[in-house]
Each structure stands twice: as structure tokens, then as C-alpha cells.
């Protein structure tokens, strides 16, 4: 980490302060030149929401208000910069929980007004994708596989900041399917990592269906697979047997990984991608990482995966994406509106 407090920002790139509050993490980061993370403070509410078995939007919004200025202060202090050195304020505009987004958006607008600097409303998924630019160089055209609790998308980037969604989930996001299956397997919230671990350790596999949809489609559907897991559990119970949770976890995970990585590789080939990027909270899934790495190597496509702390929701990734707009002078007005649903393609530079 760089702790040079009196360095002139113009000599070494712009200083962006970014705020992310789209779900249950309050995060603020200071990033120099869109690439160098000076601080990336994340305050997770996971312990609060665990007792409710999932994220409660009203409580998430209340927590964001409680921690907002504390986290801003920590991020500025940790970055070793002075508040007056900040060149612009970036914020997650959407998509996400509207009440949660509002807290970050209003805080960012207040900071932009107080510091008299530009405001940059930023797309959350663009953030997940550009987290990759914090760990490597993105080579275009590039395919991004975005997998998280709220999103499952295959995005084609033909050039820097040009987003084209070629596939998306038609029902549950992959992380959502993991959490639902985890609940059926009696794991506490959030259960995704438990399912991954159990699947890794399994010696048996209950083979479950693959949902490929239409032959040329890059879309996903996970609700049928989740139902298949529940049906298997019921079938065992009717026979008076204990369901084999580890074999089910493995069957579920193998089905998800086959489809997700299979479609991503097919997209990379069809669009002549020179790189694959894996991003979003589910990118922490070990089974998924390993399979995608193997397939990419086989296909001769280099793979970028950010470290876990940049895969889960964080503000440094928002600064990385906002830098695309900063360099082009594309700023938001103080009337920026938080959007629960927001188009990634329209956010392109």
C-alpha cells in the first residue's frame, strides 16, 4: 500500500473515491489511476443477516446509514491521502437493493458537492468485470463470466468499456441457486461455500440434469436443477433412507459447472475472445475456478480471476470501472438516481 500523503495526484494518476452499497456490504475505496488500490474497506453485514436466513433489505439499509461515514473516514485514512486530493467520487448506481443503493448514492452526491468534484454513477456489474483490471491487463475482445448471488451473465467486451450481454439467467442467479440448495442441505446462510466444500470432498455423485436450453443459447436456468435436488431429497426420505448430501452437493455442483463453463468457452470461441475473465462472488468457488482454468488452457484462452476479496462486493472494483468514465470526462449530474434495475450495455462508454 502506498502511504505518500503529500504526493501530487496529477503526477501519478487521478484519485477516485468509490462507494458501494448495492446489497449487504458497505464499502469505500480510494484508487489511483484506476489500477492502484490505496484502500478498499469492506464492512460486511453478514453476521446481522445470518439470523434472518438471508439479506433483509430494510435492515441492510439501516446498517449502511450506521456505518457510511465511518467507512469513508477509514478508507481515506488508510489510503494516506487528504480528502482535498480526491479528484472524483464514484458510486454504484445500480442494479441492487434500492434502499441500500440510495444510502451510497446520497453519500456520494453529498461528498461530490462538499468537495466540489465530479460524480460518476457506476454499474455494479461493470465493477465486477473491471475488478480484473486491478490484477492484470484486459485484452480485447474479452469474455466475462459474471457469477454472483444476484447475477449470472456472459458479457462480451469487444473493446474497452463496451459491454454486450450475450447470455443471462432466466430465473435464479447461480449464487441464489447455491444458497437455496445449501438451505435444503441444512447449511446456515450463506451456504454456497459449504456446498462447494462438500462437493469437493464427495466420493459419490448423484447425477442431475444439465439445463442447456436452446442449442445456440448462452442463457441459463437453474430453478429446474434446484428442484431436482429437492426432489432427490424427498425421494430418499419416502424410501426411509437418509439422503446422501455430499453426493447431491457434488451432482449439483457438477451440473452448474458443466453448463456455466461450457457456455463461457463456447462464447469465447464463437467471438474470438483473446481472454476470459471470471468475476462475481461465486468466482470464489474452487470447483468452478479449476474447471474453467482447465478448459481455458485447453482452448488456448488466457484466464483472469481476481483474488476473492475483489470478487465479492467491494468499492475498489467500482473505482476501476468508474475510471473508464473519468478518463473520457463522462460524469453524472448531482441528480443521479439509484436504479434497482439498470442496463449494463447502456452504461458502455
Judged by the rule CB under 8 A, the positions of this chain that interact with another protein are 51-52, 56, 58-59, 61-62, 65-66, 68-70, 72-73, 83, 99, 102-103, 105-107, 109-115, 333-338
The three-state secondary structure class of 158 is coil
Cα 252 from chain centroid (whole Å): 21
Q: With 0-12 CB in 10 A as exposed, 13-18 as middle and 19+ as buried, what is 251?
A: buried
Residue that has been written with the C-alpha cell 453426493 in this structure: 247
**Burial state string for 284-299 with b = 16 or more CB within 10 A and e = fewer than 16:** bbebbbebbeebbeee
Q: Under a CB-based contact definition with an 8 Å cutoff, are residues 132 and 277 in contact?
A: yes
**What is the C-alpha to C-alpha distance for residues 317 and 131, in angstroms, rounded to an integer?**
5
In the complex with another protein, which residue's Cβ is closer, 12 or 333? 333
In the complex with another protein, which residue's Cβ is closer, 102 or 310? 102
The distance of closest approach from Cβ of residue 244 to another protein in the complex, given in angstroms and rounded to an integer, is: 32
The three-state secondary structure class of 161 is coil
The three-state secondary structure class of 90 is strand
Q: Under a CB-based contact definition with an 8 Å cutoff, are residues 318 and 29 in contact?
A: yes
Tally of helices (H runs) and strands (E runs) in the chain: 12, 10
Q: Under a CB-based contact definition with an 8 Å cutoff, are residues 232 and 206 in contact?
A: yes
Q: Which helix (H) or strand (E) holds 325?
A: helix 315-327
The distance of closest approach from Cβ of residue 105 to another protein in the complex, given in angstroms and rounded to an integer, is: 6
**What is the C-alpha to C-alpha distance for residues 37 and 346, in angstroms, rounded to an integer?**
27
3-state helix, strand, coil in the chain (%, to 5): 45, 20, 35
Cα 290 from chain centroid (whole Å): 19
**What is the C-alpha to C-alpha distance for residues 271 and 293, in angstroms, rounded to an integer?**
19
Amino acid at each position: 500500500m502506498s502511504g505518500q500523503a503529500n504526493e501530487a495526484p496529477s503526477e501519478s494518476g487521478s484519485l477516485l473515491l468509490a462507494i458501494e452499497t448495492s446489497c449487504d456490504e458497505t464499502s469505500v475505496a480510494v484508487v489511483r489511476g484506476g489500477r492502484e488500490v490505496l484502500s478498499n474497506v469492506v464492512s460486511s453485514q453478514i453476521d446481522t443477516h445470518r439470523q434472518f436466513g438471508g439479506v433483509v433489505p430494510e435492515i441492510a439499509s439501516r446498517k449502511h446509514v450506521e456505518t457510511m461515514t465511518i467507512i469513508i473516514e477509514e478508507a481515506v485514512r488508510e489510503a494516506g491521502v487528504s480528502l482535498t486530493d480526491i479528484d472524483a467520487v464514484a458510486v454504484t448506481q445500480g442494479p441492487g437493493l434500492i434502499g441500500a443503493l440510495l444510502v451510497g448514492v446520497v453519500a456520494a452526491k453529498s461528498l461530490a458537492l462538499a468537495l466540489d468534484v465530479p460524480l460518476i454513477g457506476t454499474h455494479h456489474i461493470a465493477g465486477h468485470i473491471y475488478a480484473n483490471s486491478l490484477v492484470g491487463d484486459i485484452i480485447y475482445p474479452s469474455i466475462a463470466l459474471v457469477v454472483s448471488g444476484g447475477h449470472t451473465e456472459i458479457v462480451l467486451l469487444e473493446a474497452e468499456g463496451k459491454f454486450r450481454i450475450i447470455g443471462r439467467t432466466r430465473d435464479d442467479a447461480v449464487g441464489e441457486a447455491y444458497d437455496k440448495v445449501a438451505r435444503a442441505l441444512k447449511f446456515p446462510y450463506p451456504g454456497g461455500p459449504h456446498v462447494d466444500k462438500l462437493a469437493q470432498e464427495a466420493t459419490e455423485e448423484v447425477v442431475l440434469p444439465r439445463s442447456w436450453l436452446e442449442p445456440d443459447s448462452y442463457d441459463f436456468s437453474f430453478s429446474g436443477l434446484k428442484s431436482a435436488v429437492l426432489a432427490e431429497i424427498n425421494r430418499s426420505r419416502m424410501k426411509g433412507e437418509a439422503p446422501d448430501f455430499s453426493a447431491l452437493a457434488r451432482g449439483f455442483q457438477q451440473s452448474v459447472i458443466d453448463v456455466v463453463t461450457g457456455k463461457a468457452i463456447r462464447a469465447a470461441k464463437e467471438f474470438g475472445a483473446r481472454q476470459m475473465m471470471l468475476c462475481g462472488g461465486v468466482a470464489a468457488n474452487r470447483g468452478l475456478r479449476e474447471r474453467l482454468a482447465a478448459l481455458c488452457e485447453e482452448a488456448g484462452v488466457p484466464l483472469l480471476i481476481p483474488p476473492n476479496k475483489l470478487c465479492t462486493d467491494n468499492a475498489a472494483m467500482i473505482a476501476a470501472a468508474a475510471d473508464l468514465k473519468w478518463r473520457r470526462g463522462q460524469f453524472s449530474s448531482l441528480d443521479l438516481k439509484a436504479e434497482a434495475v439498470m442496463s449494463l450495455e447502456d452504461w458502455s462508454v
